[in-house]
């Protein structure tokens, strides 16, 4: 029996998506069109593509600011005998999104959209500065959600976002992000083990150094807290130079710089816990990674990945922007090693589930099957 042919549109080659596409191949004849290889701020290793057997193609195109302009021939490709279309809704690939969406309507085949959008104070603050941008995105979003036969909400917060905008609950399939074990690095502490021994008990921040991540406020909270530990800041980004200039003299804050993939397991395992104090994160894959390596997590209500945290068992979820609550929690946890040991055991147990590619692909498979069996 012929498998349904599915065209998948994705913005760039994200390594953690590849095992999910490979898993979907068991049910569908998929071809993934990537709008670009990767953006400048991503340090992903795109060579992983060669390890997978699903069909794929990186489209010709040009990035103009935050938008990728792909060749109009995508519309022709999208009209060539597909049974369904699955689009990852990202602002950067709006032009390609509409070429594929138009093709689905011309061909009369079902359209599935997957959305990671969530509400957060940071979203309102940034988008609200530009009336034109806000208006264009609102029209795009409303039209796309209306045309979609099924929408995959990639977190509980994403589902809530859709429902607040009038999307019928029966049209939504709930999913979640996973960090597949196939692309998680194995521990290799060679060369950094001695470096890590110099630090006292360590609290870890791992991620981009951007304003929306709340990393500056985390440092301020940590410096003012009564804790016998050091805060290890791992990553790079636009705030790096200023933060290093302002806080490198503090004995409580250590700037590690960019960490290679094989260094991450060592960093997670040596840390008392991970802090992701984000003001806006559609997900936050460091939460998956930390749990997989048995590291408890403090994150905020602005992270889609907060749905993975069992409060007081595998970590804590605090209100985004509540820096006093963060400070109090930092002091409480660092003074309670017994609680941390128990949380580490529970974190390791729960993290295994969130690294299964079959678990991550389930929502996409369900959405495609639903659209193909019950098209509008």
pLDDT digits (tens, 9 = 90+) for 130-161: 677 778 888 999 999 999 999 999 999 999 99
pLDDT at 123: 57
Average pLDDT estimate for 295-317: 95
Map out the domains of the chain as residue ranges: 5-181+356-373, 185-353
The sign of the torsion formed by the CA atoms of 240, 250, 219, 310 equals positive
CB atoms closer than 10 angstroms to residue 187: 13
Fold annotation for 5-181+356-373: Rossmann fold (3.40.50)
Q: What is the percent of the chain where pLDDT is above 90?
A: 74
The answer to whether domain 5-181+356-373 and domain 185-353 are alike in fold is: yes
Average pLDDT estimate for 259-272: 88
The SS3 assignment for 130 reads coil
Kindly report, residue by residue over 228-256, the tens digit of the pLDDT. Answer: 999 999 999 999 999 999 998 888 999 99
Kindly report, residue by residue over 72-106, the tens digit of the pLDDT. Answer: 999 999 999 999 999 999 999 999 999 999 999 99
Rounded to the nearest integer, the mean pLDDT of the chain is 90
Q: How far apart are CA 267 and CA 135, in angstroms?
A: 43
Instruction: Write down the CATH number for the domain with range 185-353.
Output: 3.40.50.2000
Per the CB < 8 A criterion, the answer to whether 320 and 305 are in contact is: no
Average pLDDT estimate for 110-131: 75
Kindly report, residue by residue over 153-205, the tens digit of the pLDDT. Answer: 999 999 999 999 999 999 999 999 999 998 887 776 666 666 666 666 899 99
Per the CB < 8 A criterion, the answer to whether 355 and 288 are in contact is: yes
Average pLDDT estimate for 349-357: 86
pLDDT at 350: 87
Whether residue 214 has pLDDT greater than 70: yes
pLDDT at 127: 46
Whether residue 310 has pLDDT greater than 80: yes
pLDDT at 299: 97
Average pLDDT estimate for 267-282: 94
């Amino acid at each position: 029996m012929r498998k349904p042919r599915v065209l998948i549109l994705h913005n760039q080659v994200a390594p953690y998506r590849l095992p999910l596409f490979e898993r979907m191949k068991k049910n569908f004849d998929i071809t993934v069109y990537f709008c670009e290889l990767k953006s400048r701020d991503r340090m992903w290793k795109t060579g992983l593509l060669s390890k997978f057997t699903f069909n794929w193609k990186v489209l010709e195109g040009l990035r103009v600011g935050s938008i990728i302009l792909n060749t109009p021939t995508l519309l022709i490709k999208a009209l060539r005998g597909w049974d369904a279309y699955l689009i990852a809704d990202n602002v950067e690939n709006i032009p390609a999104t509409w070429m594929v969406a138009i093709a689905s309507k011309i061909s009369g085949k079902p359209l599935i959209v997957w959305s990671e959008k969530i509400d957060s104070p940071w979203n309102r603050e940034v988008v609200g500065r530009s009336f034109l941008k806000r208006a264009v995105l609102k029209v795009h979003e409303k039209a796309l959600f209306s045309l979609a036969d099924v929408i995959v909400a990639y977190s509980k917060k994403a589902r809530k976002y859709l429902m607040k905008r009038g999307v019928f609950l029966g049209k939504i399939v709930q999913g979640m992000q996973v960090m597949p074990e196939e692309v998680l690095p194995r521990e290799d502490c060679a060369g950094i083990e001695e470096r890590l021994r110099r630090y006292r008990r360590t609290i870890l921040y791992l991620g981009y150094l951007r304003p929306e991540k709340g990393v500056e406020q985390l440092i301020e909270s940590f410096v003012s807290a009564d804790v016998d530990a050091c805060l290890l800041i791992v990553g790079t980004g636009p705030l790096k130079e200023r933060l290093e200039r302002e806080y490198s003299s503090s004995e409580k804050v250590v700037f590690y710089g960019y960490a290679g993939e094989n260094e991450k397991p060592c960093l997670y395992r040596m840390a008392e816990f991970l802090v992701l104090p984000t003001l806006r994160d559609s997900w936050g894959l460091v939460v998956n990674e930390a749990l997989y390596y048995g590291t408890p997590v403090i994150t905020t209500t602005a992270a889609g990945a907060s749905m993975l945290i069992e409060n007081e068992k595998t970590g804590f979820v605090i209100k985004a922007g509540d820096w006093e609550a963060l400070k109090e929690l930092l002091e409480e946890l660092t003074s309670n090693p017994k609680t941390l040991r128990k949380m580490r055991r529970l974190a390791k147990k729960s993290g295994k589930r969130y690294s299964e590619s079959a678990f991550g692909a389930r929502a996409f498979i369900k959405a495609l099957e639903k659209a193909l069996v019950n098209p509008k």
